[in-house]
Amino acid sequence: MKSTRLIALALVPVCLLVVPLAWSQAGNVEQQIKKLTDQLIAAELKADTNSYGKLLADDYTGIYSSGRLVTKAQDTEDLKSGALKYESIDLREIKVRAYGDTAVSVSLVSTKGTYKGKSINADYRLTRVWVKRKGGWVSVAFQATRVVPPSQ
**pLDDT tens sequence for the chain (152 residues):** 566 555 545 544 544 444 444 444 556 999 999 999 999 999 999 999 999 999 999 999 999 999 999 999 999 999 999 999 999 999 999 999 999 999 999 999 999 999 999 999 999 999 999 999 988 999 999 999 999 988 75
151, part of any domain: no
What single DSSP character describes residue 68? Answer: -
CB distance 53 to 46 below 8 Å: no
115, part of any domain: yes
23, part of any domain: yes
Can you give the pLDDT at residue 27?
67
Residues 6 or more apart from 73 whose CB is under 8 A from it? Answer: none
Alpha-carbon gap, residue 137 to 145, rounded angstroms: 23
- The CATH number for 49's domain is 3.10.450.50
111, part of any domain: yes
Domain residue limits at 53: 2-146
Q: What count of other Cβ atoms lies within 10 Å of the Cβ of residue 150?
A: 5
Identify the H or E element spanning 100: none
Can you give the pLDDT at residue 128?
98
152, part of any domain: no
Using CB atoms within 10 A of its CB, is residue 65 exposed (0-12), middle (13-18) or buried (19+)? Answer: middle
Can you give the pLDDT at residue 149?
83
Domain count, the chain: 1
